[in-house]
Amino acid sequence: MLHTTGPLLSVDLDGSTTTKTDIEDVSRRYIGGRGLGTKLAHDRIPFDADPLGPENRVLFTTGPMQTSTMSFTGRTNCTAVSPLTDGLLSSNAGGFLSRNFADTGYGAIEFAGAAEELTIVHVTDEGVEFETVPGLEGATVPETAAYLESEHGIESDRTAIVGPAGENKVRFASIMTTEERAFGRGGLGAVLGSKHLKALTVGGDSPPPVDVPATQAEIHREAATDDHVMKRQGTVSVLSLANEMDGLPSYYFSERSFEGADGIDGDAVEAKKYKKGTCSACAFACKLPTRDAVRGVETEGPEFEVAMAFGSNSGVDDIVDVMISNELCDRYGLDAISAGNTVAAYLESEDSFGDTELIHGLVEKIARRKGVGDTLAEGIDRVHGTLGVDNWTVKGLDFAAHEGRLLHGQALSYAVSNRGADHMYATFYSVEYPLVDPDAAMDPTGMDGKAERLVERENLMALNDSGIVCKFSRDYMTPERYEALFGAEFADLLAVGARTVTLERHFNNQRGFDRADDTLPYEIPDFERGLEAYYDARGWVDGVVPEDALPEDAVDPSN
211 pLDDT tier (thresholds 50, 70, 90): confident
CATH of domain 8-203: 3.60.9.10
Question: In this predicted model, what pLDDT tens digit does every residue of 18-53 receive, in sequence order?
Answer: 999 999 999 999 999 999 999 999 999 999 999 999
Give the pLDDT of residue 555: 67
376 pLDDT tier (thresholds 50, 70, 90): very high
| CA–CA gap between residue 418 and residue 114 (Å, rounded) | 27
Kindly tell me if the per-residue pLDDT of 559 is higher than 50: no
Kindly tell me if the per-residue pLDDT of 554 is higher than 90: no
| CA–CA gap between residue 319 and residue 173 (Å, rounded) | 23
Q: Is the pTM of this model over 0.85?
A: yes
Amino acid making up residue 4: T
CB 191 within 8 A of CB 110: no
| CA–CA gap between residue 352 and residue 345 (Å, rounded) | 10
Give the pLDDT of residue 250: 98
Question: In this predicted model, what pLDDT tens digit does every residue of 129-165 receive, in sequence order?
Answer: 999 999 999 999 999 999 999 999 999 999 999 999 9
Which residue stretches of 433-518 are H helix? Answer: 450-467, 479-486, 490-510
Q: For the residues 365-381, what does the mean pLDDT come to?
A: 98
| Average pLDDT across the chain, whole number | 96
Q: For the residues 220-225, what does the mean pLDDT come to?
A: 94
Question: In this predicted model, what pLDDT tens digit does every residue of 168-201 receive, in sequence order?
Answer: 999 999 999 999 999 999 999 999 999 999 999 9
| CA–CA gap between residue 123 and residue 103 (Å, rounded) | 10
356 pLDDT tier (thresholds 50, 70, 90): very high
**First-to-last CA distance in the chain?**
32
Each domain of the chain, given as residue ranges in start order, spans 8-203, 226-380, 408-549
Q: For the residues 498-508, what does the mean pLDDT come to?
A: 98
Give the pLDDT of residue 77: 98
CB 543 within 8 A of CB 518: yes
Q: For the residues 432-444, what does the mean pLDDT come to?
A: 95
CATH of domain 408-549: 1.10.599.10
Which residue stretches of 168-299 are H helix? Answer: 188-194, 215-225, 229-233, 239-244, 266-272
| CA–CA gap between residue 469 and residue 456 (Å, rounded) | 17
Question: In this predicted model, what pLDDT tens digit does every residue of 520-530 receive, in sequence order?
Answer: 999 999 999 99
Estimate to the nearest angstrom the gap between the alpha carbon of 299 and the chain centroid: 19
Top CATH class, 226-380: mainly alpha
| CA–CA gap between residue 381 and residue 508 (Å, rounded) | 18
Check if 8-203 and 226-380 are the same fold.
no
Question: In this predicted model, what pLDDT tens digit does every residue of 381-426 receive, in sequence order?
Answer: 999 999 999 999 999 999 999 999 999 999 999 999 999 999 999 9
Amino acid making up residue 548: D
CB 283 within 8 A of CB 231: no
